[in-house]
């Protein structure tokens, strides 16, 4: 009898030891509920109009993690998916780092041309915990590792939406590391009646899974792949901008996949997101992974009780159907496109289309104003006069022809002469100028064919031209690419301190998945310029080449919302556009977070506030958003240091609009601005209020 009791106690002890402990100490009531029974964690969360979401996680190492994922309405539950496991594939390469290339801000790198590894991230369930942060419920499970990285799995549920995020949070101690990842969900049973997606022509496609179906990489629109069954659909998609590391081209590189044995690494049928390791075959920098940083290799899932088309319609709402939403009192402006329509089409002898594809693409993206950057490679910016002036004439003719009452296509160039580094020139009307001048040649001449023509021979004459024609200049891709070291190297030059020099342009270079934001490079420069005592602004730039409907354009775009009531008429000039930019009457956005109004004690961006002796001020912001917000940051400086006051916004839910008022002490400060970021690292930032 004693022997039997001993055996039973031994078996019971082994069962207890095998059961994964679940730490609930960090979970506070937030509208979601969590229960633990043996190896199962069950979470219910309010999913807004979709009803109530239910997720059952199985911590048994021999079973799939996602035991069941459900949606319920009025006491009727529907299981959308079951028996799924997350899967992550990590590519690890070597970053080229040097001060001359910008250090971790490097763009001119070709990671896939050097040896790199492609490995399945191992996952175990040895521990688990559930915590809450505002309206978010976070489940952390087990351990994840590759030979160089260690970490854990993180699942985040968002109250008010059938949306959740799955992330492998991994760190390495190895220096100079660059990474890339693919991710998705493996089915341990026949989950899906169909796999569905939108093709690049915006038409839904379906395929029935089969046990022997090989893995397929898909060229899709909206970056989304969907598993569909009789009771609903589950959409898998990445963060719309963060997942796309900077490239020169916005090519659609087949960012989703489905099928069996993906890369000969994934055991079973899966759907997911992916990156092509060789990118656009130009400069391919991947993501930075500095030592000790927590890299979030993540993707989103959206549950729907509808078929795949209905699920995709819900996903598209997060990016306004991949377009920039209209905002009363504002016009959207994007800059820095090397489409080279003039050289490649107009002057090449090819037929000139009445309605070029690139114009249709930009219009459908919700852009009201587009500033080109032609002749970046082709063309004759330094002359001789004959081809140079002919090129400018064609540029002015075509931008005039392709502009209308709702779309303003503006000429522009990335000048790259005189000042150092790369920079853009922007005039309020067509200006004929040649970027060279012979010793005996006058600065300005009058011609019968083109009227006034300028010949610019140095930086002093460049400044004079900008002053005479009321133009603007700004540094392109500051502190990286061919502008590494700029504008720092000429911060004290007359042309830079001049009012004709706007400041810098922002694009998400570099990419780092440990950040809750997109690139900080130019935001840091923005603060530095203000602490230098200069009233400069930062404008968004796209800096891409080919523009087609097939491309993944939205991921690589950003926009300036200019305070303009109406579009100028091309023939009358576009001085109001330059005035809004010059005065800082705009905010920059990736599109998902909008700032309809912003002021500090009543003073708006670009204006100057007399701070009371107490330093007490109030920042007032009206915000619109799609993804739930993460945080806002009030950034200020005293001419030496930068101060950051962070406001947690995790109480917000998806698709909101609210006016916030935040008290902040600005005693001794000389400037202030605000950034706002959401859970997918989409964001918006204001220009400075000067103090």
pLDDT tens digits for range 311-350: 999 999 999 999 999 999 999 999 999 999 999 999 999 9
Domain 87-318 has CATH 3.30.43: no
pLDDT value of residue 16: 41
pLDDT tens digits for range 652-662: 999 999 999 99
pLDDT tens digits for range 352-409: 999 999 999 999 999 999 999 999 988 999 999 999 999 999 999 999 999 999 999 9
Look-up of token digits 């998945």:
513
pLDDT tens digits for range 439-463: 999 999 999 999 999 999 999 999 9
Give which of 180, 185, 179 is closest to 153, Cα–Cα.
Answer: 185
Q: List Cβ neighbours of 363 (8 Å cut-off, separation of 6 or more).
A: 406, 407
- Which whole number is the average pLDDT over 52-58? 98
Whether 85 shows a pLDDT value over 70: the answer reads yes
> What residues does CATH 2.70.98 cover in the chain?
87-318
Alpha-carbon span 675 to 691, nearest angstrom: 18
> What residues does CATH 3.20.20 cover in the chain?
330-508+563-585
Q: Which token pair is 401?
A: 């022809």
Q: What percent of the chain has pLDDT over 90?
A: 93
Whether 186 shows a pLDDT value over 90: the answer reads yes
pLDDT value of residue 18: 59
Q: Which token pair is 555?
A: 């991921």
pLDDT band for position 211 (cuts 50, 70, 90) = confident
**Residue 164 exposed, middle or buried by CB count within 10 Å (0-12, 13-18, 19+):** buried
List the end-to-end C-alpha distance of the chain, in Å, as a whole number.
85
> pTM of the entire structure?
0.96
pLDDT value of residue 187: 94
CB neighbours (10 Å) of residue 145?
17
pLDDT tens digits for range 347-368: 999 999 999 999 999 999 999 9
pLDDT band for position 100 (cuts 50, 70, 90) = confident
pLDDT band for position 101 (cuts 50, 70, 90) = confident
Look-up of token digits 């107009």:
346
Q: Which token pair is 447?
A: 């011609």
- Which whole number is the average pLDDT over 38-55? 96
What b/e readout covers 470-502, taking b as 16+ CB neighbours within 10 angstroms?
bbbbbbbbbbbbebbbbbbebeeeebbbeebbb
Whether 578 shows a pLDDT value over 50: the answer reads yes
pLDDT tens digits for range 7-43: 333 333 344 445 789 999 999 999 999 999 999 999 9
* Pair 576, 568: CB distance under 8 Å: yes
pLDDT value of residue 236: 98
Give which of 126, 119, 161 is closest to 140, Cα–Cα.
Answer: 126
pLDDT tens digits for range 119-170: 999 999 999 999 999 999 999 999 999 999 999 999 999 999 999 999 999 9
Whether 478 shows a pLDDT value over 80: the answer reads yes
Which of 3.20.20, 1.25.10, 3.40.390, 3.40.50 is the CATH number of 330-508+563-585?
A: 3.20.20
Whether 4 shows a pLDDT value over 60: the answer reads no
pLDDT band for position 99 (cuts 50, 70, 90) = confident
Alpha-carbon span 147 to 537, nearest angstrom: 44
Indicate the average pLDDT of the chain.
Answer: 95
Whether 5 shows a pLDDT value over 50: the answer reads no
DSSP 104-154: GG--S-BGGGS--EEEEPEEEEEEEEEEEETTEEEEEEEEEE-SS-EEEEE
Q: List Cβ neighbours of 419 (8 Å cut-off, separation of 6 or more).
A: 459, 462, 473, 490, 493, 495, 496
pLDDT band for position 190 (cuts 50, 70, 90) = confident
């Amino acid at each position: 009898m004693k022997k039997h009791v001993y055996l039973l106690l031994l078996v019971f002890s082994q069962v207890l030891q095998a059961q994964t402990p679940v730490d609930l100490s960090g979970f506070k009531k937030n509208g979601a509920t969590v229960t633990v029974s043996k190896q199962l964690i069950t979470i219910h969360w309010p999913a807004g109009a979709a009803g109530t979401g239910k997720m059952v996680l199985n911590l048994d190492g021999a079973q799939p993690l996602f035991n069941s994922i459900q949606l319920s309405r009025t006491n009727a539950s529907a299981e959308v998916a079951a028996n799924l496991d997350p899967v992550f594939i990590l590519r690890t390469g070597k970053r080229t780092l040097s001060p001359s290339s910008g250090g971790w801000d490097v763009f001119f790198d070709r990671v896939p041309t050097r040896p790199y590894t492609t490995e399945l991230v191992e996952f175990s369930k040895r521990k688990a915990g559930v915590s809450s942060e505002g309206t978010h419920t976070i489940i952390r499970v087990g351990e994840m590792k590759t030979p160089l990285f260690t970490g854990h799995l993180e699942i985040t549920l968002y109250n008010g939406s059938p949306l959740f995020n799955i992330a492998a949070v991994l760190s390495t101690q190895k220096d100079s590391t660059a990474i890339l990842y693919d991710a998705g969900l493996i089915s341990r049973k026949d989950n899906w009646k169909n796999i569905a997606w939108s093709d690049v022509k915006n038409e839904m496609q379906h395929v029935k899974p089969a046990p022997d179906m090989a893995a397929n990489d898909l060229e899709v629109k909206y970056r989304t792949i969907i598993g569909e069954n009789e009771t609903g659909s589950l959409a898998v998609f990445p963060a719309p901008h963060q997942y796309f590391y900077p490239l020169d081209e916005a090519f659609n590189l087949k960012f989703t996949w489905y099928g069996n044995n993906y890369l000969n690494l994934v055991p079973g049928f899966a759907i997911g997101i992916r990156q092509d390791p060789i990118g656009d075959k130009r400069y391919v920098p991947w993501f930075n992974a500095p030592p000790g940083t927590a890299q979030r290799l993540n993707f989103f899932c959206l549950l729907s009780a509808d078929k795949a088309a209905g699920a995709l319609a819900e996903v598209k709402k997060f990016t306004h159907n991949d377009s920039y939403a209209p905002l009363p009192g504002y016009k959207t402006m994007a800059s820095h496109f090397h489409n080279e329509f003039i050289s490649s089409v107009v002057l090449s002898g090819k037929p000139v289309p009445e309605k070029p594809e690139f114009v249709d693409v930009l219009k459908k993206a919700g852009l009201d104003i587009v500033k080109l950057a032609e002749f970046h490679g082709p063309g004759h910016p330094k002359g001789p006069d004959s081809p140079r002036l002919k090129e400018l004439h064609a540029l002015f003719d075509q931008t005039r022809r392709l502009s209308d009452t709702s779309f303003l296509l503006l000429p522009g160039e990335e000048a790259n002469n005189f000042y150092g580094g790369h920079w853009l020139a922007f005039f309020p009307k067509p200006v004929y100028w040649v970027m060279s001048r012979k010793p005996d040649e006058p600065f300005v001449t009058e011609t019968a064919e083109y009227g006034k023509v300028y010949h610019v021979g140095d930086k002093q004459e460049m400044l004079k031209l900008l002053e005479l024609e009321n133009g603007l200049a700004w540094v392109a891709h500051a502190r990286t690419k061919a502008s590494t070291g700029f504008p720092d190297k000429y911060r004290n030059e007359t042309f830079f301190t001049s009012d004709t020099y706007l400041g810098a342009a922002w694009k998400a270079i570099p990419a780092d998945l440990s950040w809750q934001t997109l690139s900080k490079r130019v935001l840091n420069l923005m603060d530095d310029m203000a602490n230098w005592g200069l009233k400069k602004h930062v404008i968004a730039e796209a800096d891409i080449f080919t523009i087609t409907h097939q491309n993944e354009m939205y991921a690589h775009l950003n926009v300036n919302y200019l305070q303009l009531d109406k579009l100028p008429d091309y023939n009358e000039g576009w001085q109001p556009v330059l005035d809004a930019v010059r005065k800082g009457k705009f905010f920059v956005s990736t599109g998902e977070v909008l700032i309809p109004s912003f002021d500090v004690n009543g003073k708006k961006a670009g204006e100057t506030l007399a701070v009371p002796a107490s330093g007490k001020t109030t920042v007032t912001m009206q915000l619109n958003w799609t993804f739930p917000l993460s945080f806002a940051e009030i950034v200020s400086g005293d001419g030496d240091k930068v101060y950051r006051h962070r406001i947690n916004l995790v109480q917000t839910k998806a698709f909101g609009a609210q006016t916030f008022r935040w008290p902040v002490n600005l005693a001794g400060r000389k400037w202030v601005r605000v950034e706002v970021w959401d859970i997918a690292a989409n964001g918006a930032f204001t220009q400075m209020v000067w103090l």
